Amino acid sequence: MAVHWVNYDLNKAGQDYTKLIDYLKSHQSWAKPLKSSFFVKTSLTAAQLRDGAKKHVDANDDIVVVTVTGQSWATHSIPSDVNEWLKKNL
């Protein structure tokens, strides 16, 4: 299992994030550290996760998926449950 950091911008006013968020939450485990950002633990590759996410956004929206190694990380003002998720999963 890999952990990927998914960041997205839905560029059209009035966008509905529901389908994308439901897709990201459908994987083994996840954490939401920022407004437009998720950590997702899954057996998918970064490209596969991106391709799945693309099905739930418009063509002009932006998505970045990065595999996280957990070798080094730090946070500031992030909820404690997200920090605990990071400690457990990275």
Q: Using one digit for the tens of pLDDT, what is the confidence trace for 8-48?
A: 998 877 777 899 999 999 999 999 999 999 999 999 999 99
What is the pLDDT at residue 70?
87
User: Percent of the chain at pLDDT above 70?
Assistant: 99
User: Percent of the chain at pLDDT above 90?
Assistant: 84
Three-state SS at 77 = coil
| Domains of the chain listed by start with CATH number | 2-89 (3.30.70.240)
Confidence (pTM): 0.91
Residue 39 DSSP class? E
The per-residue pLDDT of the chain, averaged, comes to 94
CA distances from 5 to 14, 24, 79 (A): 24, 11, 17
Q: Counting beta carbons within 10 angstroms of the beta carbon of residue 39, is it exposed (0 to 12), middle (13 to 18) or buried (19 or more)? A: buried
What is the pLDDT at residue 59?
87
